[in-house]
């Protein structure tokens, strides 16, 4: 359960009041006071809006049945307990009805193969929260090899990105008195050895970046104050984040420093035993990885080196020692084509594997290094359709792997195999709804500039193309995130079973076709993502699947920005909008919480030339009183310290003042995911489905 340096970028610190209300700004924006996250006036406003929404939605005759069904799915003991191997045990974090905040537990492989494994509970988060009077939410653990008996456990209050780290003794099943402990902040801690850790956190004024992440990485010795920890590296305030970490692969132990320059550019340094840092001479935009003797490089832009040209989206490999000695003769492990991109890659003890998207369908290949280069073969036993992911069970000791397989209608399966042999099913999710009446189809819409945009549609086999089917269209379109087919019992139970059609749009800005697909909708070209989403909506209408009055849309975070822009740019296309934990005020987004870290995606509103295009897709600035918008449900979380709840609050207030049909619900806890436990997740989802059914089903109820 080792964490990558890139994953550390997502840790965070919470600010109760994250704005400075300047007089001029107050005149331009009368709702700045709603950015005061936990201010009394703002929370009173939130509670008043919540009360109205609960009266409208939670008292709907169908709400309780939906909430109950969703909670039963989330709490079901039949869910797959995904595990990670450390030493001789397989570890899992689990939430259910009896353990709403969850338990950290472990078992053996022999037990895990059973239908009902026996688990050893190591830490009960519900009991911990009760004892300490804090709503703790599990945020992960890193354990020290080879015994894995000492762990650094991360916890957050209410599900926020900000975490605390505490040292835990697995044998004693207790936190270590006087052990390593990091106060609440957006930061991280990782093992070097039993008496030494790397730590990045809020060390005081000037130690955090403008994005709210660690600017300084330190080495901290046991028994000394954290204030006396040795500085390993200092970045700039304008960086995203800095971190140091150890690769503890036996026989290949190395130390690294990671510097995130922007969301998509970084530097990687090798730290010598003397503390000297050697920067990897690689493009800042490339993702760098080291495993055993190999250095891997995933390109985001074209690169010419060593007399060769490499395409953006390619995956390259070279022996690390050769590279450090000056060699630049890379092997190409993957090169994209017009319809393929690299989804992920990884390694077992003797093999490398790549997960390739071919028109948004996964294909797994095994790569074997040899004297004549790398041999490439399809993974034995991999399915032909669906979302497939693969990860090594223990890359230091075996060629075993875990595989998960799913699609919109097929319950997720967890398989285990050894490369070269057919994998065996370990666990399978039960069917939470009857999928037999439905089918999955892939279609392509034509965007405004002629680009073909794929989308998946799940509908009844006997769907009547009469333009009158309630349809839910989901999208994200940002940060190179790919939306692939996954089994969603909630969608099946709460939407398909009631006669709805479900659609997922693979618009630009995502990663479905690699860096080019993402970069096509960056910054000034952001409109391409919105044109793509509108094209899918128009295609559904043209094919007579639905009509605007029956077409609802849903998205969260960057997808919430998508929802906001579809509302103000294309109001004629939709009958309802669910806008979740959204960005909406693009004039101030970079000043709120982690917003500054996303300027590589959106642009810098402080630069006039960039605000010129940003303002065109800033829903908060573009919403107008005299336009007929579809009904909108805004949802967010007070404890979201990634996307500021002020975005949703202010948009709601402005649209409400203008007289539009808007509804609002804010969970007082929950972090960026919107919920801190299964009960909250079920409640929030039930609100959304009830809203959509109220607005879209009409006489079809």
Answer whether 556's CB lies under 8 Å from 685's CB. no
Answer whether 636's CB lies under 8 Å from 580's CB. yes
Task: Check whether 677 has a pLDDT greater than 90.
Answer: no
Asked which of 115-129, 171-185, 331-345, 638-652 is least confident by mean pLDDT, the reply is 638-652
Domain locations in the chain as residue ranges: 60-71+439-700, 342-429
Task: Check whether 402 has a pLDDT greater than 60.
Answer: yes
Q: What pLDDT sits at residue 77?
A: 87
Mean pLDDT of 191-219: 97
Name the nearest CA neighbour of 613 among 621, 605, 601.
605
Query: 407 CB contacts (<8 Å, ≥6 apart)?
Result: 385, 386, 387, 440, 485, 486, 487
Give the separation between CA 109 and CA 586, rounded to whole angstroms.
49
Q: Which strands form 216-221's sheet, in the order they lie side by side?
A: 188-193, 196-200, 216-221, 230-234
User: 50: buried, middle or exposed (CB in 10 Å: 19+, 13-18, 0-12)?
Assistant: middle
Q: What pLDDT sits at residue 160?
A: 86
Tokens of 126: 């519900």
Q: Which residues pair with 474 in a beta bridge?
A: 504, 554
Average pLDDT, the chain: 93
Answer whether 526's CB lies under 8 Å from 519's CB. no
Q: What pLDDT digit, counting tens, does each position of 283-330 carry?
A: 999 999 999 999 999 999 999 999 999 999 999 999 999 999 999 999
Long-range contacts formed by 365-368: CB under 8 A, 24+ apart? 366/419, 366/420, 367/333
Task: Check whether 7 has a pLDDT greater than 90.
Answer: no
Q: What pLDDT sits at residue 639?
A: 83
Name the nearest CA neighbour of 215 among 232, 237, 198, 230.
237
Q: What pLDDT sits at residue 26?
A: 42
**What proportion of the chain, given as a percentage, has pLDDT over 70?**
95
Answer whether 258's CB lies under 8 Å from 5's CB. yes
Q: What pLDDT sits at residue 380?
A: 95
Q: What pLDDT sits at residue 8?
A: 31
Domain 60-71+439-700 fold is Rossmann fold (3.40.50)
Q: b or e along 671-687 (b: 16 or more beta carbons within 10 Å of the residue's beta carbon)? A: bbbbbbbbbbbbbbbbb
Crossing angle of the two packed helices 678-696 and 63-75, in degrees rounded to 10: 140
Task: Check whether 642 has a pLDDT greater than 90.
Answer: no
Q: What pLDDT digit, counting tens, does each position of 161-195 carry?
A: 899 999 999 999 999 999 999 999 999 999 999 99
What confidence category does residue 28 fall into, taking pLDDT thresholds of 50, 70 and 90?
confident
Q: What pLDDT digit, counting tens, does each position of 46-91 carry?
A: 999 999 999 999 999 999 999 999 999 998 889 999 999 999 999 9
Q: What angle is formed at CA 342 by the lines to CA 444 and CA 455, rounded to 5 degrees?
A: 15
Task: Check whether 349 has a pLDDT greater than 90.
Answer: yes
Q: Which residues pair with 168 in a beta bridge?
A: 151, 175
What confidence category does residue 158 fall into, taking pLDDT thresholds of 50, 70 and 90?
confident
Give the separation between CA 646 and CA 648, rounded to whole angstroms.
6
Tokens of 643: 């996307």
Q: What pLDDT sits at residue 668?
A: 83
Q: What pLDDT sits at residue 674?
A: 53
The model's pTM: 0.86
Tokens of 139: 């945020």
Name the nearest CA neighbour of 556 among 577, 536, 572.
577
Task: Determine if the peptide bond prior to 417 is cis (ω within 30°).
Answer: no
Q: Which residues are known to be catalytic?
A: 557, 672
Give the separation between CA 506 and CA 629, rounded to whole angstroms.
24
Q: What pLDDT sits at residue 678?
A: 85
Q: What pLDDT sits at residue 517?
A: 97
Q: What pLDDT sits at residue 452?
A: 98
Q: What pLDDT sits at residue 9?
A: 32
Sign of the CA dihedral running 666, 669, 672, 673 = negative
Give the separation between CA 507 and CA 532, rounded to whole angstroms.
6
Q: What pLDDT digit, counting tens, does each position of 588-616 carry?
A: 999 998 889 999 999 999 999 999 999 99
CA 223 to chain centre: 36
Which residue stretches of 457-569 are H helix? Answer: 489-494, 515-519, 527-542, 558-569
Which residue do the tokens 């060390």 mark?
Answer: 203
CA 294 to chain centre: 28
Give the separation between CA 506 and CA 360, rounded to whole angstroms.
8
Q: What pLDDT sits at residue 701?
A: 57
Distances (CA, A) of 679 to 64, 557, 669: 12, 21, 12
SS3 491: helix
Mean pLDDT of 432-438: 96
Name the nearest CA neighbour of 343 among 476, 481, 452.
481
Mean pLDDT of 131-143: 96
Answer whether 312's CB lies under 8 Å from 515's CB. yes
Tokens of 51: 């009360």
Task: Check whether 151 has a pLDDT greater than 60.
Answer: yes
Tokens of 317: 């490999």
Task: Check whether 669 has a pLDDT greater than 90.
Answer: no
């Amino acid at each position: 359960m080792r964490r990558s340096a890139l994953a550390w970028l997502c840790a965070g610190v919470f600010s109760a009041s994250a704005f400075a209300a300047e007089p001029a700004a107050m005149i331009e924006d009368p709702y700045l006071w709603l950015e005061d996250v936990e201010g009394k006036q703002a929370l009173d406003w939130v509670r008043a809006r919540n009360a109205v929404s609960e009266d409208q939605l939670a008292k709907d005759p169908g709400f309780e049945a939906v909430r109950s069904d969703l909670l039963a799915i989330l709490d079901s003991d039949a869910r797959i307990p995904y595990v990670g191997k450390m030493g001789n045990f397989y570890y899992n974090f689990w939430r259910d009805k009896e353990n709403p905040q969850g338990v950290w537990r472990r078992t053996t492989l022999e037990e895990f193969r059973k239908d009902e494994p026996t688990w050893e509970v190591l830490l009960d988060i519900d009991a911990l929260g009760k004892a300490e009077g804090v709503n703790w939410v599990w945020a992960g653990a890193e354990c020290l090899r080879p015994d894995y008996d000492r762990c650094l456990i991360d916890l957050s209050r209410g599900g926020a990105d900000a975490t605390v780290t505490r040292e835990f003794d697995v044998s004693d099943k207790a936190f270590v008195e006087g052990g390593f402990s990091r106060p609440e902040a957006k930061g991280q801690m990782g093992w070097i050895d039993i008496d030494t850790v790397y730590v990045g956190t809020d060390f005081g004024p000037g130690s955090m970046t403008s994005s709210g992440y660690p600017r300084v990485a330190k080495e901290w010795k046991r028994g000394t104050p954290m204030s006396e920890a040795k500085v390993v590296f200092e970045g700039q305030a304008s960086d995203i984040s800095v971190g140091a970490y150890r690769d503890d692969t036996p026989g290949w132990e190395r130390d690294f420093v990671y510097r995130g320059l922007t969301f998509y550019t970084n530097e990687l340094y090798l730290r010598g035993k003397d503390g000297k840092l050697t920067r990897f001479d690689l493009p800042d935009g490339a993702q760098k990885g080291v495993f055993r003797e190999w250095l891997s490089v995933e390109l985001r832009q074209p690169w010419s080196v060593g007399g060769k040209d490499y395409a953006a989206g390619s995956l390259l490999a070279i022996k690390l020692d050769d590279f450090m000695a000056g060699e630049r003769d890379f092997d190409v492990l993957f090169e994209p084509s017009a319809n393929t991109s690299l989804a992920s890659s990884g390694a077992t003890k003797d093999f490398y594997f790549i997960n390739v998207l071919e028109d948004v369908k996964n294909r797994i290949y095994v790569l074997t290094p040899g004297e004549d280069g790398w041999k490439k073969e399809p993974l034995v036993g991999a399915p032909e359709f669906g979302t497939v992911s693969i990860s090594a069970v223990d890359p230091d000791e075996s060629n075993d792997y875990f595989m998960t397989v799913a699609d919109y209608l097929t319950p997720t399966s967890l398989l285990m195999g050894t490369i070269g042999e057919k994998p065996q099913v370990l666990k399978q999710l039960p069917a939470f709804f009857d999928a037999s009446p439905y089918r999955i189809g892939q279609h392509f819409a034509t965007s405004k500039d002629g680009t073909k945009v794929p989308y998946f549609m799940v509908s009844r086999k006997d769907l009547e193309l009469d333009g009158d089917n309630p349809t839910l269209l989901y999208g994200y379109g940002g940060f190179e995130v790919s939306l692939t087919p996954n089994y969603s019992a909630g969608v099946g139970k709460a939407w398909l079973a009631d006669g709805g059609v479900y659609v997922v749009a693979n618009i630009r800005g995502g990663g479905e076709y690699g860096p080019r697909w993402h970069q096509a909708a960056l910054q000034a070209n952001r409109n391409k993502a919105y044109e793509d989403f509108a094209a899918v909506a128009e295609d559904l209408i043209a094919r007579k699947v639905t009509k605007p009055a029956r077409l609802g849309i849903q998205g969260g975070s960057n997808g919430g920005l998508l929802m906001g822009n579809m509302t103000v740019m294309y109001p004629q296309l939709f009958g309802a909008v669910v806008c979740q934990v959204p960005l909406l005020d693009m004039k101030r987004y970079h000043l709120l919480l982690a917003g500054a870290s996303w300027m590589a995606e959106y642009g810098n509103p402080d630069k006039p030339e960039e605000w010129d295009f940003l303002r065109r897709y800033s829903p908060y600035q573009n919403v107008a009183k005299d336009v007929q918008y579809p009904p909108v449900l805004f949802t967010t979380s007070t404890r979201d310290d990634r996307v500021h709840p002020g975005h949703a609050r202010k948009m709601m207030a402005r649209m409400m003042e203008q007289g539009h049909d808007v509804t609002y619900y804010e969970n007082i806890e929950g972090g960026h995911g919107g919920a801190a436990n299964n009960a909250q997740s079920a409640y929030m989802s039930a609100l959304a489905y009830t809203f959509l059914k109220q607005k879209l089903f009409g006489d079809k109820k």
